[in-house]
Amino acid sequence: MLLQHIRDIKDPEHPYSLEELKVITEDAIEVDDKRSYVRVTFTPTVEHCSMATVIGLCLRIKLMRSLPPRYKVDIRVAPGSHASEASVNKQLNDKERVAAALENPNLVDMVDECLAPSLL
């Protein structure tokens, strides 16, 4: 169900969707409806992918728009798939930092581009 919402997000560097690139898969999404908790684990394409944070940000924003506010969304990089795993995880789940990132017009433009509905 949840995959419906995020499968079409485009990679910031390629014209492919995250699903096509196998960045996210169905197994990587956990939903606990009773406790209103969602955890998405994504796998960046290469270990030192510089776009990992942007992908994470896209996921977060898309889910913020698509899920009722009661949900707590936790976004993580798959263990062992990224060079600086801990710092990326920290960045993505820090409210302040996400808010700060959204103040950055360049970043927001990039996110918006990724989220634009594809024609396919």
Partner 1 sequence: MGESVQWIKHIELYVSSTATPSEQAASVDAVATLLKKGFFTLETLVKEMEMYLTTTDSIVRSRGNLLLAELLDKLASKPLSSSSIHSLVGFFTERLADWKALRGAIVGCLALLRRKVDVGNVTNSDAKAVAESFLQNLQVQSLGQHDRKLSFQLLECLLNHYPGAIGDLGDNLVYGICEAVDGEKDPECLLLVFQIVECLGQIYPDPSGPLANYAEDMFEILGSYFPIHFTHPKGEVDDSKREELSRALMLAFASTPLFEPFSIPLLLEKLSSSLPSAKVESFKYLSYCTAKYGPERMASHAEVLWSSVKEATYISPQCTLTKESELLGGMGFQDSEVMKQSFILLQEVIQQYGDFISLVLGDNDINVFINSLNQYKEMDDIPSLAKQRLHVVGHILSTCAKPSPALCNKVFNSFFPLLMESLGISVEKSFNGYLDEDCSPPAEFNFAAIYLCIELLAACRYVAVSLDSSTPALEFSHQTWSTMLSNSCKSLVKTFFSLLRSMEADQSASSGVYFGVKGLEILATFPESFLPASNSLYENILSEFVRTVTSGSTETFLWTLTLKALTEIGLFANKHPESAKAVIFEKIVVEKFVSLIPSGESAMPSSLKLKAAFEIGGTKKDFMLKVVHALSAAIYTNFSAAYDEGNHESGKVMIQLLDTYTEKVLPWFLKIGGFEEIPLNFALGIWEKIEHTKYLNLSVLEIAMGAGYQDLLGAIMSAIKKSVGSCSNESQEIIINKAFGVLSSSTGFGFESGSSLVKEEDVKQNLNPGDSSCKHEWLTSLFASVIIALRPQTSIPNGKMIIQLFIKSLLNGHVPSAHALGSLVNKLPLEIKGMNCSGNLTLNKALDMITPTFTGISHHDNVSQSNGSGIDFSSLRLNTLRMQSGINTAIGLAWIGKGLLMRGHEKVKDITMALLSLLMLDCEGGDSKELQIIDEEDMHQLRKTAADAFHIILSDSGECLSRAYHATIRPLYKQRFFSTIMPIFLSLVIKSDALLVSPTYTSRSMLYRAFAHVVSDTPVIAVLAESKKIVPILLDCLSVLSKDVANKEIIYNVLLVISGILVEKNGQEAAVENAPIIINLLIDLTTYQHMMAIRETAIQCLVAMTELPYTRIYPLRTKVLQATSKALDDPKRIVRQEAVRCRQSWASIASRTLRF
Q: Which is nearer to partner 1, 30 or 113 (CB)?
A: 113
Distance CA(89)–CA(62), nearest Å, equals: 17
Residues in Cβ contact with 60 at an 8 Å cutoff, skipping those fewer than 6 apart: 73, 75, 92, 98
Task: Output the smallest distance, CB 69 to partner 1, in A.
Answer: 6
Task: Output the smallest distance, CB 92 to partner 1, in A.
Answer: 16
SS (H, E, C) 53-87: HHHHHHHHHHHHHHCCCCCEEEEEECCCCCCCHHH
Distance CA(18)–CA(23), nearest Å, equals: 5
Would you state the structure tokens that stand for residue 88, as one six-digit string?
């990326």
Q: Which is nearer to partner 1, 4 or 96 (CB)?
A: 4
Q: Which is nearer to partner 1, 78 or 115 (CB)?
A: 115
Task: Output the smallest distance, CB 64 to partner 1, in A.
Answer: 5
Q: Footprint of partner 1 on this chain (CB under 8 A)?
A: 4-5, 61, 64-70, 102, 105, 108-109, 111-112, 115-117
Q: Which is nearer to partner 1, 94 or 112 (CB)?
A: 112
